[in-house]
Amino acid sequence: MLVAFDGSDNAFRALAHALDLGRLAGAPLTIVAIAEIPNYADSRLEVNGGLENERHHMHKLVKDALKRVKTEGVNISTEVRIGHPSNVIRKMVADDHFDLVVLGDKGHSTLVSLFLGTTAYNISRKVPCSVLLVK
Amino acid sequence: MNDLSLLLVTFAFLVPASMLSVEAALSVSIFEIVLGVIARSVFGIQPFPFLKLTAAFAGIALTFLAGAEVDTRLIRTRFKESFLIGVASFLAPFLAVLAYCYGSLNWTWEASEIGAIALATTSLAVVYAVLVETGLTRHVVGKLTMAGCFVTDFFVSLALSTLFVRPNTWTLVFLVVSVVLIVVAPRILPRLFQRYGNRVIEFEAKVLFLLLLLLMVLGELGNSHAMLPAFVLGLVLAPLFERNQNLQRRMRTICFGFVTPFFFFGSGLRISLEALAASSGLILTLFVIKVVTKIAGVYPLARRFASRGAMFLTLLMSTGLTMGTLTATHGLDKGIITETQFGVLLAAVIASAIVPTVVAQRWFQEELELTMPTEPYSIPAAVAPDTRGVIRPQEGGD
């Protein structure tokens, strides 16, 4: 199972659900937090700086999240990846053959979702496996 | 409103621009330009002296940073391919836009040159973001694209610094001082920074700013432009920056916190929405000329040097943002182009940052996400593609 985590309330609910499922099914869980790169940057400094900050932020986010949930009985691995969430999830599913992707139906940013659809929707369209959207 | 009040208003726009950039995962510069346009159109804000001065300095600082970001090792290992791609990437749109602006639009020759240079640029930063995301910085296609961008940037700086020179005595002084700085700086600055740097006084930033301001002043006196020496100075100091991540971070804080926002917001303040709306056809035409000629110039070479991913490379080389904005701003500051021409060029440049990138990512990226020839190349630790940490239920931490 792959759980996409961005620190939002929905993401926490998705993580809790995934942990329950993992416990029931005895399935290992991979939590992925995605550090997004600013598009159309004006310098490499901005890209590298944004990336560095995001990676630290995501690492901390996942670490803090695991302190807040019950992780007993589930084999968990964590990753921080770089890129756009839908592309990263799609690639991870293709490379590592996950059976299920679990994510919150809404993340932090409503601005992008107003114009481009929610990340959850984009991911559910792109991945070849089942997707569980948690509200 | 006095300058102090205008400065307050400026920051009142810059803060939401930063917030929007995080929410949308887009570069803050795009929002700074857009909010600058809104500030002018809705509130009638115009560039004021402090903003103009800071923006002018920011332009040179951005050029210096562009040079400092050049990976000289990469260019050396793939010199022939990167030089050819860079030259084609610059020359093809330059000549086409020059001919169109002068021949069809009846712009003055100098205004046509400004348009040609602005639309011949390539955005290394836009390209780099895509390459980092896809992990292609380690692949042949990624390396050639970045190296090609470096070369294109160099030719843009060269063109801007030489085509509009009106030589006088100070021009010679400017030239001599530029050469001396470029030769001496990489030898002296590392020792100087080792002794006085890495402290709260930000000695390194002050020294670099001193050098850039010196180039700007002499460039003005010599009826030239400091862009080329600033770029080359950055280039020769690139190894210093590469070795010193802390210096990069501090320059980033200073530039992004205070300097470069004035440049982009100031650019937006100089755009009239009405003029832009009236010129939408022209913006589209110039955009198409840029992209088509970039493809015509770069694609055959890309096919030769990186057959797989040639179109992806070509489309990324068709992007432009910072250097194009710098060029157009220089043209406006010197009275070579009008505000309408400036708005047209800037709109075409921004379109070229977005459209080719979207097309490349949407239609040509997936075919590259397969095994391609790679070469040993280390990328900065800050941008390593991913990290993995295995956490057992009882443990915590990275």
A36: tokens are 């997004």
CB contact under 8 A, A38 and B369: no
pLDDT, residue B367, reads 62
Residues of A in contact with B382 (CB under 8 A): 48, 51-52, 55
| Shortest distance, CA B59 to any CA of chain A (angstroms) | 11
Place B363 in a pLDDT band, splitting at 50, 70 and 90.
confident
Residue scoring higher pLDDT (B271 or B135): B271
Total Cβ atoms within 10 A of residue B42 = 9
Question: Which residue does chain B place closest to A107, by CA atoms?
Answer: B23
Mean pLDDT of chain A: 82
- Give the pLDDT mean for B296-308: 86
| Shortest distance, CA B103 to any CA of chain A (angstroms) | 32
| Shortest distance, CA A91 to any CA of chain B (angstroms) | 9
pLDDT, residue B96, reads 97
Is A117 in the B-facing interface, judged by CB distances under 8 Å? no
pLDDT digits (tens, 9 = 90+) for B87-143: 999 999 999 999 999 999 999 999 999 999 999 999 888 888 888 777 777 777 788
pLDDT digits (tens, 9 = 90+) for B11-68: 999 999 999 888 777 788 889 999 999 999 999 999 999 999 999 999 999 889 888 8
- CA dihedral (B351, B357, B360, B362) positive or negative: negative
Question: Which among B380, B382, B393 has CB closest to A73?
Answer: B393
DSSP A69: S
Q: How far is CA B243 from CA B8, B191, B238, B246, B254, in A?
A: 37, 13, 9, 9, 19
Beta strands in chain B (DSSP E): 386-391
pLDDT digits (tens, 9 = 90+) for B172-182: 999 999 999 99
pLDDT, residue B395, reads 34
pLDDT digits (tens, 9 = 90+) for A84-107: 788 888 888 988 889 999 988 765
Place B387 in a pLDDT band, splitting at 50, 70 and 90.
very low
Mean pLDDT of chain B: 86
The ipTM (two decimal places) reads 0.72
Range in B239-253, B273-287, B358-372 the model is least confident about: B358-372
pLDDT digits (tens, 9 = 90+) for B60-91: 998 898 888 887 787 788 888 889 999 999 99
Beta strands in A67-125 (DSSP E): 76-82, 100-104
Question: Which residue does chain B place closest to A90, by CA atoms?
Answer: B366
Question: Which among A39, A80, A84 has CB closest to B387?
Answer: A80
Backbone φ/ψ region at B202: left (φ over 0), alpha (ψ -120 to 50), beta: left
| pLDDT of B318 strictly over 70 | yes
Residues of A in contact with B28 (CB under 8 A): 38, 42, 46
CB contact under 8 A, A63 and B398: yes
Closest residue by Cα to residue B368 from B131, B150, B148, B146: B131
pLDDT digits (tens, 9 = 90+) for A61-85: 888 888 887 777 888 888 888 887 8
pTM of the complete model: 0.81
pLDDT, residue B76, reads 81
Residue scoring higher pLDDT (A117 or B40): B40
> Got the DSSP string for B179-215?
HHHHHHHHHHHHHHHHHH-SSTT-HHHHHHHHHHHHH
Residue scoring higher pLDDT (B45 or B306): B45
pLDDT, residue A112, reads 52
User: Which of B386, B388, B390 to mutate against chain A (most A CBs within 10 Å)?
Assistant: B386
